[in-house]
Amino acid sequence: MATEKLDTATRREQIAEAALALISEKGMQGLAIASLARRVGLVNSALYRHFNGKDEVLDAMLDLIGDRLMANVKAVRRESARPLDQLRQLLMRHIRLIRENQALPRIVFSEEIYSGKPERRTKLFNIISRYLTNVSDIFSEGQKNGTIRSDTDPLVLAVMFLGLIQPAAILWHLSNNKFDVTKHAEKAWGIFADGLSR
Amino acid sequence: MATEKLDTATRREQIAEAALALISEKGMQGLAIASLARRVGLVNSALYRHFNGKDEVLDAMLDLIGDRLMANVKAVRRESARPLDQLRQLLMRHIRLIRENQALPRIVFSEEIYSGKPERRTKLFNIISRYLTNVSDIFSEGQKNGTIRSDTDPLVLAVMFLGLIQPAAILWHLSNNKFDVTKHAEKAWGIFADGLSR
DNA sequence: TCTCCAAGTGAATATACGTTCACATGATAT
DNA sequence: ATATCATGTGAACGTATATTCACTTGGAGA
């Protein structure tokens, strides 16, 4: 009725973002074409004007997530010059990203994403690998720098870095947001960084 | 036809274990009542003789997982007296458990588990909490013992401990089992333990 | 050996969801 | 002002899957 017509480029963005929001609120189960369409003010069928199917929506979502992860990396590289500070900042940004957007862990952990279309698993792997590579670059710089011990593989450190947040994020989620991720991350980072610099 | 009749106690076990196996092979999607029943040699409807519905099956599965986690803890406490050794053993056992039983991470990370029935989220939280408490007990002993630095919260350490494996497990899974979890865990443990003892 | 109830069967039902299609409409370019 | 095409609509279809129910059957105990 009163639904204004918007071009596909705009709609695709709206829809991908609505998908993230929906998942954040209702979980993967909540991501139904009908709900998704309604959320951007359309009916089911209209969604197919902009995406060939649900698969394409999922792909678009993954791209969005990749963008946000990389945006965080770029931001912290701008904000500070010292690797250890950059990492700490990144940790906090990552937590904020997850808190504001619960869709992120839910998508990464869910197989609905790639159970139908195995290539999407590779896509997700690439997104995470790219993030890890960037994180490990920061570690490398710290090692050249002398602020981080050089006897350890930076890629291992990068994966450990993710490990500072991940289980905490799950506990936060399972505990109905009672578990304090930020506090945990601060303490864990303290211990980790302590070990790094010696 | 040639399906022998077994008592409910037996069937419940068979079914819960079949559920874990199914998820390990096909993912959460693969856990359909029909497939599950067929796997233990029954038809759909027969399953309802032993469970009131899918929900009950999920509950039974969670209990099974809890048991296996706790079994690992008990085993390592038997095998060694020194906390650091126990932890290392537990790490390796945990990895083995996950490798042999991909269902574990898939279930923990999936919300299908509790999206329908929120109390199940609490149940899962309790299972993990229980495991964490046991792990943190080991850390505590190490601290009393003098082999682990005392200026850190053992519960934080326990969560970090999980973080040594978790992201690696995901990478392993996303990379079609190419990423070497065991190798990562060994390196990561080296770094972590190094930080612990100083 | 007979009886009876727990355990197993097959068909039917209900629901939820992705997708398609013939038709309507509004913005834009001429 | 009008034509055109991208965008939006409503209804219908197909499929997958959990659940129910009237029934059969096998085996343990009287």
Q: What is the pLDDT of residues A28-86, one digit of tens each?
A: 999 999 999 999 999 999 999 999 999 999 999 999 999 999 999 999 999 999 999 99
pLDDT of residue A41: 96
Q: Return the pLDDT at B98.
A: 96
- Residue B111 to residue A28, Cβ atoms within 8 A: yes
Residue B108 in this model has a pLDDT that exceeds 90: no
Q: Residue B178 — pLDDT band, cuts 50, 70, 90?
A: very high
pLDDT at A110: 85
Percent of chain A exceeding pLDDT 70 equals 99
Residue B79 pLDDT greater than 80, yes or no: yes
Residue A188 near residue B160 (C-beta atoms within 8 A): yes
Q: What is the mean pLDDT of chain A?
A: 95
What are the chain A neighbours of B164 within 8 Å (beta carbons)? 160, 163
d(CA B141, CA B80): 13
Q: What is the mean pLDDT of the segment spanning A169-175? A: 94
- Please state, for a pLDDT cut of 90, what percent of chain A lies above it: 88
Task: State how far the Cα of A162 lies from the Cα of A169, in Å rounded to an integer.
Answer: 11
Angle at the Cα of B11 (from B5 to B12), degrees rounded to 5? 155
Q: Which positions in chain A touch B115 (Cβ < 8 Å)? A: 26-29
Mean pLDDT of B84-113: 93
A50 touches A108 (CB < 8 A)? no
pLDDT, mean of residues A182-194: 96
Which residues on A lie below 8 Å from B162 (Cβ)? Answer: 163, 167
Residue B55: CB less than 7 A from any atom in strand D: yes
> In angstroms, what separates the C-alpha of A75 from chain B's closest C-alpha?
23
**Residues B90/B74, Cβ–Cβ less than 8 Å:** no
Q: Is the confidence at residue B1, as pLDDT, over 70?
A: no
Inform me whether the pLDDT recorded for A198 exceeds 80: no
Do B1-51 and B54-197 come out as alike in CATH topology? Answer: no
Q: What's CA A91's distance to the chain center, in Å? A: 12
What value does the mean pLDDT of chain B take?
95
| Closest chain B residue to A26, measured at CA | B115
Q: Residues of chain B with pLDDT > 90: what percent?
A: 89
Residue B115 has pLDDT above 90, yes or no: no
**What architecture is the B54-197 domain classified under in CATH?**
Orthogonal Bundle (1.10)
Strand C contact with B11 (CB < 7 A): yes
- In chain A, residues 43 through 82 whose Cβ sits under 7 angstroms from any atom of nucleic acid strand D: 43-46, 49-50
The CA–CA distances, whole Å, from B21 to A160, B48, B77 equal 29, 20, 28
- pLDDT of B113 reads 84
Please report the pLDDT score of residue B197 as a whole number.
Answer: 84
Give the closest residue to A42 by CA, choosing from A5, A97, A90. A5
Q: Is the pLDDT of residue A167 over 70?
A: yes
* Per-residue pLDDT, B110: 85
Banded pLDDT at A1 (limits 50, 70, 90): low
pLDDT at A99: 95
Instruction: Provide the CATH topology of domain B1-51.
Output: Arc Repressor Mutant, subunit A (1.10.10)
Tens of pLDDT, residues A91-115: 999 999 999 999 999 998 888 888 8
Provide φ and ψ at B161, rounded to 5°: -55, -45
Nearest by CB to B166, from A106, A167, A192: name it.
Answer: A167
Q: Which sequence spans correspond to the domains of chain A?
A: 1-51, 53-197
Segment B145-149 long-range contacts (CB within 8 Å, at least 24 positions apart): B145/B82, B145/B83, B147/B82, B147/B83, B147/B84, B147/B197, B148/B83, B148/B84, B148/B196, B148/B197, B149/B196, B149/B197, B149/B198
CATH class of this structure's domain A53-197: mainly alpha
* Cα–Cα distance for residue pair A188/A180, rounded to 1 Å: 12
Give residue-wise pLDDT tens across range B25-38: 999 999 999 999 99
- Note whether A57 and A11 are within 8 A (CB): no
- In the predicted model, is pLDDT for residue B198 greater than 80? no
Residue A59 C-alpha, separation from nearest chain B C-alpha, in angstroms: 16
